[in-house]
Chain A
Amino acid sequence: MSLLRKLFDFHGGVKPAYHKEPSTTQPIAQAPLPAELVIPLHQSIGGVPRPLVQAGETVKKGQLIGGPDGFVSSAVHASTSGVVKAVEMRRMPHTSGLSALCVVIEPDGKDEWIERKPVPWRSLPPDEVRDILRDAGVVGLGGAVFPSYLKVNPGKKGHLDTLVINGAECEPFITCDDLQMRERGETIVRGAAIMRDLTRAGQVLIGIEDNKPEAIAAMQAAVRTVGAERIEIVPIPTRYPAGGAKQLIRVLTGIEVPHGKRSTDYGVQCFNTGTIYAIYEALELGQPLVSRIVTVAGNVERPRNFEVRFGTPMRDVVALAGAKPDTDRIIMGGPMMGYAMPGDEVPVVKATNCILVGSPALFPPPPPEMPCIRCGECAKACPADLQPFEMYWFSRAKIFGKAQEYHLFDCIECGCCAFVCPSRIPLVDYYRFAKSEIWAREQEKEAADVARERYEFRLAREEREKAEKAAKLAAKAAETKAKLAQQEAAKAAEGAAPAPVASDDAKKALIAAAMERAKQQAAAPLNTDNLSSDQKAQIADAEARRAQALQAEGKD
């Protein structure tokens, strides 16, 4: 059947050297417990989870330590049992080298789990299943770390046509999904079946690049063993970036998701195989996401895949593979899309699919950048059908509006354009620069809009308060005036010679009336009726004190 399936093609793409074999010779190994786990609270796209533990607390493996905050956010858990040493700022696995709030755990060595219970997901309403996935901290493990619970959604039609499972793993050096499919194929297929039922998908297509024949064979065997229906393993041609979500959807279904639309609008959703594995563990075992498979490759003696608890320092994981002496850098991710790390002590997080160890020999310093000669090679290579050279000129000239008009935000930063550029321009650096500038500006603009609104509201409020006060005074004046007029009228009715009331007299009468009221108030008799002798004595005391105070005031 799979041989007959019609596959489609995506535009552009490149064929870099894959370097995948060295790290696939050994099975996945368990990374040992480090001396200290540094677990960043912010490990997914969206809101920063709130810390739920304090220094000195004992935690178990899988215990919630960061609660999701906001609609787009995902929980974070302790990845082993131990004592919380601190909740403090630590350096993040991020190019900036800046720090963020982390929970530092000293393992007790027991690696003791919290109580785990399978989730009866079949009988639960979909909203509750989504909440469980959010609280289990399941995020996209392909590298984008988008909270998965938001994607477990059958879309507008109420069901998906195709659920695409991404086992393409197109980036050089990275083999974590490959090894996981080879060794844990059955779990992935079972997870795929769960997702098929949750999203009511008509068919499930697991796309795997054809440079991974072992993984394809293992997965096909797993589908047969599990006896899963409507799940098909589809080998796809090897071409970078076939593992991009939009590219894989295009290859498998022929659907090209347009700018500004979601794939669910077209009845398609895409998950990484690692994410599917994590969803299986979260629902069938009741086990939150506390570890992942990480490829350690590049300039190391024994490249291999390790199952690593989140928070383990990268240095410890690299040591397991044995970094060669000329190592000069660590990259998180692959050579095309990875980020240089600020140091080797930063922790492994949910986004860490690969720790690529670099050396000057393996990744020589980039040759000098030459001027763009407008050859158009980048546009031929772009898998998102963009015009990279246009975006480059406008980003470089800081004309961000124009760069956006050329759909800068549809750029997936795959690096194909920079890979083929004969002038060796680091194009993606320009796009990242332009994107972060545009985001910052948009945020500033939002803040300015809020400030403008609040300022105008304040002005309106002050105006309103002034008007209210004036209206109150006017109403009171009118009331007194009416009263006086009534009195005059009464007098006139009595038949006494009514003096003609001029407007001056009315004012005078108002003042007289006010003074009369004041006098009455001043002379108002104290409440002295029905008082006991005791109370009378107290009143006398108070009066004496008041007299004394008045005297003292007079002296001053």
Chain B
Amino acid sequence: MISAILVMALGAVVLGAALGYASIKFKVEGDPLVEKIDAILPQTQCGQCGYPGCKPYAEAIAKGEADINCCPPGGDEGIRKLADLLGREFKPLSGEHGVEKPKSVAFVDEQFCIGCTLCIQACPVDAIVGAAKQMHTIVAAQCTGCELCVEPCPVDCIAMVPIAESVETWKWRYPVFEIKPAGTAR
């Protein structure tokens, strides 16, 4: 009787120790769900969803505070991926957060820039180069097209320029032609 209790107790101690060790050794840092959601978000950091960046929005989705259809730059495809990841139903982009636009980059009109640095402070990815009373310019390769610099400019010299398709970025078209019932065509 006693030996049986001892054996069970020993088993419990050994297994407990193994589990305890594993929980320290293989500890998961942070919330992996947040990381997964963040990987789907487009990292525009535009704040159109109502959160200060993509990561905070990802955290809000993971907590269940935010819906999955608040990210206009991610578009329908982004929502679909989030729905897949979270096992939810797809829903169209909510209108209050904006509409999906073609990808663009900001452009500073050198004629009018007064060098106020307000746009530099607004840029979430430090993609604007300049100094006080010096003309500013956008590093196009790093611009995410978030439009956050457009609003603060006191002289309205920043415009969003859509990225044109080039030979390098051109994509082969989907070879399937959808057949639609007569009347709904076009």
A interface with B by C-beta (< 8 Å): 42, 48, 92, 94-96, 98-100, 396, 398, 426, 429-430, 432-433, 435-437, 440, 443-444, 447-452, 454-459
Contacts and interface: CB of A to CB of B under 8 A. Distances in A.
Which interface residue of A96, A432, A449 has the most chain B CB atoms within 10 A?
A96
Interface string B129-142: 00000000000001
Interface string B30-48: 0000000010011111000
A436 B125 contact: no
Nearest to B40: A448
Contact of B144 (A42, A396, A451): A451
A447 B41 CA distance: 12
A444 B42 CA distance: 8
Given A433-B174, A443-B169, A444-B42, 18 more contacts: A48-B168, A98-B167, A99-B167, A100-B166, A426-B175, A430-B175, A433-B171, A437-B171, A440-B169, A447-B144, A448-B42, A448-B43, A449-B43, A451-B44, A451-B142, A452-B55, A454-B125, A455-B124
A429 to B, nearest CB: 4
A433 B167 contact: no
Contacts of B126: 454, 457-458
A100 B167 contact: yes
B127 interface: yes
The 6 A-B pairs at the shortest CB distance, nearest first, are namely A448-B43, A451-B43, A429-B175, A96-B170, A454-B125, A436-B171
Nearest to A431: B172
B173 interface: yes
Nearest to B125: A454
B139 to A, nearest CB: 10
Could you say which interface size class chain B belongs to? 20 to 34
Given A426-B175, A451-B45, A452-B54, A98 B170 contact: yes
A433 B175 contact: yes
B115 interface: no
Contacts of B176: 396
Given A42-B167, A440-B169, A451 B125 contact: yes
B175 A458 contact: no
SS class, residues of chain A in contact with chain B? helix
B173 A433 contact: yes
Interface in B25-67: 38, 41-45, 53-55
Contacts of A435: 172
B165 interface: yes
Contacts of A437: 171
Nearest to B177: A369
Given A429-B172, A449-B43, A455 B125 contact: yes
Contacts of B41: 448
A458 B171 contact: no
B106 to A, nearest CB: 14
Interface string B102-133: 00000000000000000000001111000000
Contacts of B168: 42, 48
Given A42-B167, A452-B43, A433 B125 contact: no
Interface string B149-178: 000000000000000011111111111100
Contacts of A48: 168
17 contacts: A42-B168, A48-B168, A92-B167, A429-B175, A435-B172, A436-B171, A436-B172, A440-B171, A444-B42, A447-B144, A451-B125, A452-B54, A454-B126, A456-B55, A458-B125, A458-B126, A459-B53
Contacts of A454: 125-127, 142
Given A42-B167, A432-B172, A440-B171, A455 B142 contact: no
A452 to B, nearest CB: 5
Nearest to B171: A436
Contact of A452 (B38, B165, B166): B38
